[in-house]
Amino acid sequence: MANPVDSEVSRRGVLVGGTATAMIGILPSGQVQAQSARSDAARQDFGVSFEVNGKPYSLQLDTRTTLLDALREHIHLTGSKKGCDHGQCGACTVIINGVRINSCLTLAVMHQDDRITTIEGLGTPEQLHPMQAAFVKHDGYQCGYCTPGQICSAVAVLDEIKAGIPSHVSADLTSPPALTNIEMRERMSGNICRCGAYSNIAEAIAEAAGSKT
Question: How far is residue 67 CA from its own chain's centroid?
Answer: 9
The one-letter amino acid code at 154 reads A
Percent helix, strand and coil across the chain, each to the nearest 5: 45, 15, 45
Name every residue whose Cβ is closer than 8 Å to that of residue 66 and which is 6 or more positions away in sequence.
103, 104, 105, 106, 107, 108
81-102 burial by CB neighbour count: b if 16+ within 10 A, else e?
bbbeeebebbbbbbbbeeebbb
User: Which domains, and CATH codes, for the chain?
Assistant: 44-121 (3.10.20.30), 130-209 (1.10.150.120)
Model pLDDT for residues 71-86, shown as the tens digit of each residue: 999 999 999 999 999 9
Distance CA 93, CA 33 (A): 36
Q: What is the value of pTM for the model shown?
A: 0.80
Model pLDDT for residues 107-147, shown as the tens digit of each residue: 999 999 999 999 999 999 999 999 999 999 999 999 999 99
